[in-house]
């Protein structure tokens, strides 16, 4: 740390309790009280350096009790006045970055100008500031750290502004242009950028400094000074991302428990009021742009704001910031503990719902959610790594619903409002929503059948995958009407799959003659690959794959027939004793049975064109069923 030597005499000051004495062999003729300390000094050294002390001493000469002064408003208090007194006596004194600002302030207060001696304290401190402190990065930060107790006086003298502007200018510049030698990962660096060993250049070059090289250094400043620095950086056009990242480092340093995985870095934990004020200030300094800080950091600020009972404006602003980039959040971020005594749920679902509603507003304002995507777009979104923001949020919310669903204190209305917060087009598939609904039904077995049906209306059975349909068809927690709908749409998907398989088979059969004709040249000779018979094994393998797929589909159709038959029996039992209810249930069962039979007939008819052996196996089954023109409602 750089310093400047002042004075040449030995230190003759001695402290006895709350009093300082200058042991020069002469009795003291003036007593100055500063705070709770008493300084027993001599008039001549003081009036030869300070204009203010000269005036005070002249005014107190008529006092019979001796010369006594009270200087309770000295900047820096007794510590600063002790250094000034030693300077007046010519005692050896070191001027450093930590004491130069408050010495500059107390010198201004005591009017220690050049009129009262050449090389007085004002000029000495100004020279040290301009030549040593301001050109150096580290020294400028230390100088600001040392001016906490004299901040109002330093502001009047523009010393704080000069230091802040110096730091801001260096933060916007290449660090290799100032403060030599500077430390970079334990190695000293020369002005040319090479590594120094014992002051000798090794010729090795260091990598260019990253954009975040200054974040950690300036985070040691107090909140008022850091706020001044951020304002200076903004006026110099620093990117919002850099300001947001710097504020993140500052907040993590001064707010304990901000992140769940944060280690202990705090020597002393500030009071709750100080932490609340710091958090609200950091939030107000954050740029209101998307992506300037991580979503996890914003969630950490929000959790801390709730814990510290921050202002409503602060919490609302944090929720809006999170909503703008909710698609970048993780499930762990949404699990905000409930700090309210009015609600019994484990997690704060109301806060998450407000965030989602704000996200919908931002998404619609940006035009991304103005129109629902088409079915082709839905197909492209499924399994695609580049999902739209609203689709990512829907997937995240489904995981959140499944996580909070086991909470027995979670009301049905709240679960429904959370699930319905997103529009229907946000979910290409409803498998995640089905999982959340099933988890809620399992944790709340006491809800009525009517409530179960209302809850299941949140999902679209047509948007369930085959795996989800298979699980739902055997799920006893679902209402019977929902199970029937699931079976119907599952059958429709199977019919589509069967039709697709036969379409591929017919295309392969139709392409065989054309391939054979295309393989004959003008002179009637076959190409070399056909002579060797390399094309036929591929066709045989394709037919075998199609036959295997048909066997699997046929077995699945038989299983569905059995399930539908058992359902028909259950519906008939439920319809007994209810007048026409039984006949309606029987009619529904017959329609479902006929539909499955028609599915198998289509499979048999299409297979007849593809393979003769397969049609011989299916022909007896075809004669046992009749095609029904009706589809279930």
List, for residues 85-125, the tens digit of each pLDDT value: 999 998 888 899 999 999 999 999 999 999 988 889 999 99
List, for residues 160-182, the tens digit of each pLDDT value: 999 999 999 999 886 655 544 44
Residues in contact with 447: Cβ distance below 8 Å, sequence separation at least 6, in sequence order: 412, 441, 455
**Residue 15 has what DSSP assignment?**
E
CA angle 368, 369, 371 (to 5 degrees): 110
Q: Is the pLDDT of residue 65 over 70?
A: no
> How confident is the model over 9-26, as a mean pLDDT?
83
List, for residues 457-482, the tens digit of each pLDDT value: 888 888 888 788 888 888 888 888 87
> How confident is the model over 403-419, as a mean pLDDT?
93
Q: Are 465 and 440 in contact (CB under 8 A)?
A: no
The pLDDT of residue 529 is 43
**Residue 4 has what DSSP assignment?**
E
Residue 559 CA, distance from chain mean position: 48
The pLDDT of residue 162 is 95
From start to end of 145-266, where are the E strands? 182-184, 187-189, 194-197, 200-205
Paired tokens of 183: 């430390």
Q: Are 104 and 83 in contact (CB under 8 A)?
A: no
Return the H-helix or E-strand segment holding 41: strand 37-41
Average pLDDT, the chain: 77
**Residue 237 has what DSSP assignment?**
T
Paired tokens of 261: 């995985």
The pLDDT of residue 345 is 87
Q: Are 174 and 209 in contact (CB under 8 A)?
A: yes
Phi and psi at residue 402, in whole multiples of 5°? -65, -30
Q: Are 218 and 229 in contact (CB under 8 A)?
A: yes
The pLDDT of residue 212 is 82
The pLDDT of residue 523 is 44
Spatial CA neighbour of 331 closest among 403, 408, 381: 403
List, for residues 336-395, the tens digit of each pLDDT value: 998 877 778 899 999 999 999 999 999 888 774 444 444 443 433 333 444 689 999 999
Query: Using CA atoms, how far apart are residues 404 and 397, in angstroms rounded to an integer?
Result: 10
pLDDT band at 251, cuts 50/70/90?
A: very high
Query: Using CA atoms, how far apart are residues 584 and 500, in angstroms rounded to an integer?
Result: 34
From start to end of 138-186, where are the E strands? 182-184
Query: Using CA atoms, how far apart are residues 350 and 114, in angstroms rounded to an integer?
Result: 67
Share of the chain above pLDDT 70, in %: 70
Q: Are 125 and 95 in contact (CB under 8 A)?
A: yes
List, for residues 503-562, the tens digit of each pLDDT value: 655 565 555 554 444 444 444 443 444 434 444 556 666 667 667 767 777 777 777 778
SS3 5: strand
**Residue 205 has what DSSP assignment?**
E
CA angle 100, 106, 111 (to 5 degrees): 120
Give the number of C-alpha atoms closer than 13 A to the C-alpha of residue 273, restricted to the C-beta side.
0
Distances (CA, A) of 421 to 292, 350, 435: 26, 12, 17
Q: Is the pLDDT of residue 306 over 90?
A: yes
pLDDT band at 566, cuts 50/70/90?
A: confident
Q: Are 21 and 3 in contact (CB under 8 A)?
A: no
The pLDDT of residue 218 is 94
Strands 19-22 and 13-16: antiparallel
Give the number of C-alpha atoms closer than 13 A to the C-alpha of residue 369, restricted to the C-beta side.
22
**Range from 297-306, 543-552, 558-567 that averages highest in pLDDT:** 297-306
Query: Using CA atoms, how far apart are residues 359 and 364, in angstroms rounded to an integer?
Result: 8
The pLDDT of residue 522 is 44
Q: Are 489 and 461 in contact (CB under 8 A)?
A: yes
**Secondary structure, 3-state, 583-614:** HHHHHHHHHHHHHHHHHHHHHHHHHHHHCHHH
Query: Using CA atoms, how far apart are residues 329 and 333, in angstroms rounded to an integer?
Result: 6
Query: Using CA atoms, how far apart are residues 570 and 418, in angstroms rounded to an integer?
Result: 35
Query: Using CA atoms, how far apart are residues 535 and 542, in angstroms rounded to an integer?
Result: 11
Return the H-helix or E-strand segment holding 354: helix 349-365
Q: Are 457 and 450 in contact (CB under 8 A)?
A: no
List, for residues 287-296, the tens digit of each pLDDT value: 988 889 999 9
From start to end of 484-614, where are the E strands? none
Paired tokens of 572: 């008939």
Q: Are 101 and 159 in contact (CB under 8 A)?
A: yes
SS3 3: strand
Task: Give the number of residues written for the chain.
Answer: 633
What is the sign, positive or negative, of the torsion defined by CA atoms of 451, 457, 458, 462?
A: positive
SS3 34: strand
The pLDDT of residue 198 is 54
**Range from 28-32, 58-62, 118-122, 468-472 that averages highest in pLDDT:** 118-122
pLDDT band at 18, cuts 50/70/90?
A: confident
Residues in contact with 270: Cβ distance below 8 Å, sequence separation at least 6, in sequence order: 254, 278
The pLDDT of residue 264 is 44
The pLDDT of residue 525 is 41
> How confident is the model over 332-338, as a mean pLDDT?
93
> How confident is the model over 249-266, as a mean pLDDT?
73
Q: Are 295 and 336 in contact (CB under 8 A)?
A: no
């Amino acid at each position: 740390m750089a310093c400047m030597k002042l004075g040449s005499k030995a230190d003759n000051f001695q402290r006895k309790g709350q009093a300082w004495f200058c042991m020069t062999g002469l009795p003291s003729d003036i007593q100055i009280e500063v705070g709770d300390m008493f300084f027993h000094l001599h008039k001549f050294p003081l009036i030869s350096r300070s204009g203010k002390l000269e005036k005070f001493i002249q005014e107190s000469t008529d006092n019979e009790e001796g010369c006594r002064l009270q200087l309770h408003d000295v900047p820096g208090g007794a510590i600063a006045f002790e250094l000034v007194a030693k300077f007046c006596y010519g005692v050896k004194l070191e001027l450093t970055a930590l004491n130069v600002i408050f010495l500059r302030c107390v010198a201004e207060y005591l009017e220690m100008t050049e009129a009262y001696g050449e090389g007085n304290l004002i000029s000495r401190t100004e020279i040290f500031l301009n030549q040593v402190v301001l050109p150096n990065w580290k020294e400028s930060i230390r100088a600001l750290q040392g001016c906490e107790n004299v901040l109002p006086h330093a502001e009047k003298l523009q010393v704080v502004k000069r230091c802040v502007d110096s730091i801001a200018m260096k933060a916007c510049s290449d660090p290799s242009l100032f403060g030599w030698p500077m430390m970079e990962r334990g190695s000293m660096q020369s002005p040319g950028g090479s590594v120094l060993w014992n002051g000798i250049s090794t010729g090795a070059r260091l990598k260019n400094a990253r954009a975040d090289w200054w974040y950690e250094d300036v985070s040691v400043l107090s909140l008022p000074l850091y706020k001044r620095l951020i304002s200076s950086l903004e006026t110099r056009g620093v990117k919002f991302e850099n300001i947001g990242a710097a504020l993140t480092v500052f907040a993590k340093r001064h707010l304990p428990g901000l992140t769940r995985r944060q280690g202990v870095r705090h020597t002393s934990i500030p009071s709750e009021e100080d932490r609340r004020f710091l958090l609200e200030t950091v939030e107000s300094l954050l740029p209101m742009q998307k992506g300037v800080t991580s979503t996890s950091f914003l969630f950490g600020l929000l959790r801390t704001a709730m814990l510290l009972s921050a202002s409503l404006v602060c919490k609302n602003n944090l929720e809006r910031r999170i909503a703008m980039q909710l698609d970048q959040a993780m499930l762990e971020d949404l699990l905000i503990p409930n700090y309210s005594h009015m609600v019994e749920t484990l997690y704060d679902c109301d806060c998450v719902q407000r965030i989602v509603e704000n996200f919908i507003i931002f998404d619609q304002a940006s035009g991304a959610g103005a129109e629902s995507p088409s079915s082709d777009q839905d197909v492209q979104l499924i399994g695609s790594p580049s999902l739209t923001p609203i689709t990512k949020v829907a997937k995240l919310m489904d995981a959140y619903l499944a996580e909070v669903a086991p909470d027995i204190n979670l009301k049905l209305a709240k679960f429904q409002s959370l699930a319905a917060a997103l529009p229907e087009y946000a979910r290409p598939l409803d498998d995640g929503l089905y999982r959340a609904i099933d988890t809620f039904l399992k944790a709340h077995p006491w809800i009525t059948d009517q409530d179960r049906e209302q809850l299941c209306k949140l999902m679209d059975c047509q948007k369930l995958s085959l795996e989800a349909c298979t699980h739902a068809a055997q799920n006893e927690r679902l209402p019977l009407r929902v199970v029937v709908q699931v079976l119907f749409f599952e059958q429709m998907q199977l019919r589509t799959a069967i039709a697709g398989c036969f379409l591929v088979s017919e295309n392969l059969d139709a392409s065989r003659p054309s391939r054979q004709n295309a393989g004959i040249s003008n002179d009637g000779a076959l190409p070399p690959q056909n002579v060797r018979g390399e094309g036929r094994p591929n066709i045989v393998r394709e037919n075998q794959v199609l036959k295997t797929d048909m066997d699997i589909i046929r077995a699945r159709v038989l299983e569905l027939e059995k399930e539908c038959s058992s359902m028909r029996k259950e519906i008939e039992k439920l319809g007994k004793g209810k007048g026409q209810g039984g006949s309606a249930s029987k009619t529904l069962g017959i329609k479902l049975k006929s539909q499955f039979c028609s599915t198998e007939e289509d499979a048999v008819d299409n297979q007849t064109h593809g393979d003769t052996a397969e049609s011989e196996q299916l022909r007896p089954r075809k004669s046992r069923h009749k095609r029904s023109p009706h589809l279930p409602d």
